[in-house]
Amino acid sequence: MPPPETGLTVNSWYGKFHLEMHWWHAAHFALWNRLPLLEKSLGWYASMLPRARELANSQGYRGARWPKMVGPEGRDSPSPIGPLLIWQQPHPIFYAELCYLTHRNRATLERYGEVVFESAAFMASYAYFAKERQRYVLGPPLIPAQENHPPRETWNPTFELTYWAYGLRTAQRWRERLGRKRNSEWDRVIAKLSALPALDGVYLAHENCPQTYRERNYDHPSMLGALGMLTGDNVNRETMRRTLKKVMKEWQWDKTWGWDYPLTAMTAARLGETKLAVDALLMETEKNRYLANGHNWQRPNLPCYLPGNGGLLYAVAMMAGGWRGSPSRPAPGFPDDGLWRARSEGLNRSLLNEI
């Protein structure tokens, strides 16, 4: 099963696990040549497909919708936030792709294919076609990864739009690898998905949030994930560079979470802003605090926060081992100024070159 946010240490969130956090807990295992530790929890998704299909169908969608906060039985928990969250939906596609890029064989495709295709089917069904502007829209209502937005006033969040495009494109590649035709509906959504929302040269949290850097500049700066966690295929690099620098300057870092620092570092690294990448990882703020026992302390009743640890491992793997299109030098995510000498071992460098 996916883990709770504090593992088995304290009873956070009633001991239930959060599927949107599974990426931060476990994706790093693949980069450090420990893929079996990721795969141990992936079978849960296949076992939960009937319930996920039932959830999607009950809401008028096709495919399988992955819930937010669940126990082993996979039933979504009551919450004013969880049922409206969507960024966990492409996660199983991302995990499956990590597995395939590590083991490029038909057995991997057949093992995870149904989860990939059912996840994508929901994503295509969820996107709403707005005829007046001839585009597909995400929401409303929805709550993005940055959970401080009112759902009825939120649509087209930057990160989720990018993740939707990634998920559908990856699912199409899986169809082709299995010798199947591309899904025409998925291609329509990919082609007409809304553009990433930007204003004054920087990306917004979502399309209806011009106040991103004034009133909503706390919690996760999730727009950075579009080029950081993801390869940013539909991202303008210079717009993201300005976004990164504005986030570093304007964000209320005392009101963030432990994985926001590696999130920021990955964006900085991909943009070649290596000093900012290190600055993000080493930022002196309460939520980026690591105790002597290694725990990422957040607050008195949350003395450890494993997504922070997992994010740190993912970011450091990229910074030390590279990423798709990274400079061809050792440790390309660290400054090349003579002050840093980074050594690494145990990395899956062939996988890193693909992500």
φ and ψ at 17, to 5 degrees? -105, 150
> Is pLDDT above 90 for 334?
yes
Q: Is 245 contained in some domain?
A: yes
Over residues 44-52, the mean pLDDT reads 97
Over residues 103-118, the mean pLDDT reads 98
Per-chain mean pLDDT for the chain: 96
Residue 24 structural domain: 12-352
Q: Give CA separation, 219 vs 47, 212, 222, 257, 258, in Å.
A: 33, 11, 9, 7, 10
pTM, full prediction: 0.97
Q: Is 6 contained in some domain?
A: no
Q: Is 2 contained in some domain?
A: no
pLDDT computed for residue 227 by the predictor: 98
Q: Is 286 contained in some domain?
A: yes
Q: Is 3 contained in some domain?
A: no
Q: Is 4 contained in some domain?
A: no
Name residues whose C-beta falls within 8 Å of residue 120's C-beta, 6 or more positions apart in sequence: 63, 93, 167, 168, 171, 183, 186
CATH number at residue 214: 1.50.10.10
Q: Is 7 contained in some domain?
A: no
SS3 call for 49: helix
DSSP string, 43-97: HHHHHTHHHHHHHHHHTT-SS----SEE-TT-PPPP-SSGGGB-TTTTHHHHHHH
Q: Please provide the size of the chain in residues.
A: 355
pLDDT tens-digit series, residues 220-253: 999 999 999 999 989 999 999 999 999 999 999 9
Select from 128, 204, 205, 193 the least CA-distant residue to 161.
Answer: 193
Over residues 94-118, the mean pLDDT reads 98
> Is pLDDT above 90 for 13?
no
Q: Is 251 contained in some domain?
A: yes
> Is pLDDT above 90 for 213?
yes
Q: Which two tokens stand for residue 225?
A: 């994930």
Task: Indicate the number of domains in the chain.
Answer: 1
